[in-house]
Structure 1
Amino acid sequence: MPAEDDFTVTPYAVEGDVDYDRLLEQFGADALTDDQRAAFPDPVHPLVRREVFYAGRDVDAFLDAANAGETHSVVTGRGPSGPMHVGHVFPFYFAKYLQDRTGALVYVPVSDDEKYLLKDESVGAISDHARENLLDILAVGFDPERTRIVVDTADADVVYPLAVTFAKDVTQATVNATYGDPVNVGLSFYPAVQAAHLLLPQLVEGRHPTLVPVAVDQDPHVRVCRDVAAKRRYDVDKPGALLSKFLPSLDGPGKMSSSADAPGILLSDDREAVFEKVRTRAYSGGRSSVEAHRRRGGNPDVDVSYLLLYYFFEESDERVERLAREYREGSLLSGELKEIAAETVADFLEAHQERRASLGPLEAELPKFRLAEAERRNARRRAGFPDDSLAQQ
Structure 2
Amino acid sequence: MSTINNAPIVLTGDRPTGPLHLGHYAGSLQQRLRLQDEGYRCFVMIADMQAYTDNADNTAKIRNAIPQVVSDYLAIGLDPSRTTIFLQSAVPELAELTMLYMNFITVSRLERNPTIRDELKMREFERDIPSGFLCYPVSQAADITAFKATCVPVGDDQLPMIELAQEVARKINRAGGREILPTPKSLLSKVTRLPGIDGKAKASKSLGNAIFLSDSQKEVKDKVMAMYTDPNHIRVSDPGQVEGNVVFSYLDAFENDQEKVEDLKRRYRGGGLGDVTIKKELISSLERVMMPIRDQRAANDVDYKDIIRQGSKVAREAAVQTLAEVKDALGVFSI
TM tier, smaller:
0.7 to 0.9
Q: In the alignment, does 2:215 pair up with 1:269? A: yes
Distance 1:245 1:287 in 2: 27
Q: By how many angstroms is 1:357 displaced?
A: 2.6
Report what 1:305 is aligned to: 247
Distance 1:141 1:255 in 2: 25
Distance 2:226 2:317 in 1: 53
Q: What amino acid maps onto 1:77 in structure 2?
A: G
Q: 1:163 to 1:384 in 2, by over 3 A?
A: same
Cα-Cα RMSD:
3.0
Q: Following TM superposition, where does structure 1 have runs of at least 4 consecutive aligned residues deviating by more than 4 angstroms?
A: none
Q: In the alignment, does 2:60 pair up with 1:124? A: yes
Report what 1:48 is aligned to: none
Distance 2:249 2:133 in 1: 34
Distance 2:108 2:233 in 1: 50
Q: By how many angstroms is 1:376 displaced?
A: 4.1
Q: 1:120 to 1:159 in 2, by over 3 A?
A: closer
Q: In the alignment, does 2:157 pair up with 1:217? A: yes
**Per chain length, whose mean CA-contact separation is higher, i.e. which structure has more relative contact order (CA < 8 Å, sep 6+)?**
2
Report what 2:9 is aligned to: 73
Deviations 1:279-330 (A, max 9, x none): 12332477211232xxx3x22232211210202x112333322332333343
Q: Structure 1: 5+ residue runs without aligned partners? A: 1-68, 203-208
Q: By how many angstroms is 1:137 displaced?
A: 1.7
Deviations 1:311-352 (A, max 9, x none): 2x1123333223323333435422111011122223422321
Q: By how many angstroms is 1:192 displaced?
A: 2.4
Distance 2:79 2:142 in 1: 22
- Please tell me whether the aligned partners of residues 152 and 159 of structure 1 are also in contact (alpha carbons under 8 angstroms): yes
Report what 1:110 is aligned to: 46
Q: By how many angstroms is 1:228 displaced?
A: 0.6
**TM-score between the two structures when normalised by the length of structure 1:** 0.70
Distance 2:262 2:60 in 1: 47
Distance 1:117 1:374 in 2: 26
Question: Identity of paired residues, percent?
Answer: 26
Report what 2:102 is aligned to: 167
Q: In the alignment, does 2:325 pair up with 1:382? A: yes
Q: In the alignment, does 2:287 pair up with 1:351? A: no
Distance 2:146 2:81 in 1: 16
**TM-score between the two structures when normalised by the length of structure 2:** 0.81
Distance 1:188 1:289 in 2: 48
- Please tell me whether the aligned partners of residues 146 and 319 of structure 2 are also in contact (alpha carbons under 8 angstroms): no
Residues 184-199 of structure 1 mapped to structure 2, 5 A cutoff: 184-199=130-145
Q: What amino acid maps onto 1:237 in structure 2?
A: P
Bigger shift: 280-289 or 210-219?
280-289
> Of residues 223, 228, 232 in structure 1, which corresponds to 2:168?
228
- SS of the aligned residue for 1:107 comes to strand
Report what 1:258 is aligned to: 205
- SS of the aligned residue for 2:13 comes to coil
- Please tell me whether the aligned partners of residues 279 and 335 of structure 1 are also in contact (alpha carbons under 8 angstroms): yes
